[in-house]
A = this chain, B = another copy of it.
Amino acid sequence: MTLTAPPASDDSATAPTLPRAVTLRDVARAAGMSASTASRALNSTGYVSADARARLLAAAARLGYVANASARTLKQRTSRTIGVVVSAIGNPFYADLAAGIEETLRAAEYQMVLISDNSDSAQEIDGARTFLAMRAAGVIMTPVGSDAAALLMRHGIAVVELDRQLAKVPCDAVVIDNHRGARAATAHLLELGHRRVGLLAAKTNWTSDAGRLQGYRAAHRAAGVPIEPRLVTRIAPEAPDTVERVERLLDERPTAIFAANNVLTEQVWRAIRRRGARLPRDVSLVGFDDVPWMEMVEPGITTVGQPTVELGRRAARLLLLRADDSERPPTVVCLQPSLVLRGSTSPPG
């Protein structure tokens, strides 16, 4: 701040809002060095004398130098940014995934750019384009369609699919064992003696929902209990007639319901409450995803818990590994869910 030439100084004291950002050249000049040397010093790469480095570092600090990420990315043809696209940031499940990703990325000095696609494949492709344009070092996504991942990978950007797998090309992925989770949930109900177990699942082409549906079926098969088709309801995310569809399922008088994600679990829970029905006396309920409210309501909701934050961490770690070695064979990490028993399940009344 206190420079030699007070009046004609070319530094920021001239105007309150400075006209041009300070560049590497500026700090080089201030230290009487060239830009190349300054670059080496500030990035601790290549040879720089201790003296020069010290002067350069001091100058950078004094001038408040912040490297221009665009210039660097342009030159290096890749950035330290990782794109993340989730279905709905407002859903605590996705928020937790993002939290796990962010934590891991931050530790590795990468930036997370978060985009929410509202489960809409057009928005998802848009997001992919954005990351392509940014030359993101990689992208983690909870896929809605398979085109976005294809686009990215075709352009050489590493992709990790999270929560479900949709890519048609082999690709890293981190998922939960949906089949086993759903099977455990359903088996629990069957073991309690339920014979009319309703299923409420999302109507998607996602592997997660397919697995949950299969798990429900497998448990029935193993128990020798036939499935009543009218008790299986599949509802598209954000469908406008969600409430009616849920009501209709309840009208079928199942003695228990397995709701295959946290949103649907909340929907049935509300429908049950609206009817004044009692949990678990009138109907038992098992959810999927252990979000906070499930433990706070009375009775608590028995549910298939997922290590959500850990799923996010793993996805980030996988991407980091691939950044080191783009030739690694694609690996898919499958984490185990666990059935959390609470008060919403009991033998049929």
Give the interface of A toward B (CB within 8 A). Answer: 12, 17-18, 21, 64, 66-71, 73-74, 77, 79, 89-90, 92, 95-96, 98-99, 102, 111-116, 129-130, 132-135, 151, 154-156, 266, 269, 292-293, 296-298
A102 touches B74 (CB 8 A): no
B90 touches A134 (CB 8 A): no
Q: How far is the CA of A266 from the CA of B18 in the complex (A)?
A: 46
A171 CB to nearest chain B CB (Å): 14
Most buried by B among A12, A70, A74: A70
Quick check: A154 and B67 within 8 Å, CB to CB? Answer: no
Q: How far is the CA of A73 from the CA of B135 in the complex (A)?
A: 13
Q: Considering only CB atoms, which chain B residue lies closest to A16 in the complex?
A: B154
Answer whether A68 and B113 are a contact pair too, CB < 8 Å, given A90-B96, A99-B89, A293-B292: no
- Chain B residues whose C-beta falls within 8 Å of the C-beta of A111 in the assembled complex: 113, 115, 130
A266–B71 alpha-carbon span in the complex (Å):
47
Q: Quick check: A67 and B115 within 8 Å, CB to CB?
A: no
How far apart sit A71 and B68, CA to CA, in the bound complex (Å)? 12
- A12:B89 contact, CB within 8 angstroms: no
Given known A-B contacts A12-B154, A18-B156, A298-B297, A74 and B68 have beta carbons under 8 A apart:
yes
Distance between Cα atoms of A71 and B115 in the complex (Å)? 22
Complex interface: chain B residues within 8 A of A129 (CB): 66
B68 x A135 contact (CB < 8 A): yes
Nearest B residue to A273, CB-CB: B296
Docked pose: A293 CA to B112 CA in angstroms: 29
A129 and B266 alpha carbons, distance in the complex (Å): 40
* Inter-subunit contact A71/B74 (CB<8 Å): yes
User: Of B64, B112, B133, B156, which contacts A69 at CB under 8 A?
Assistant: B133
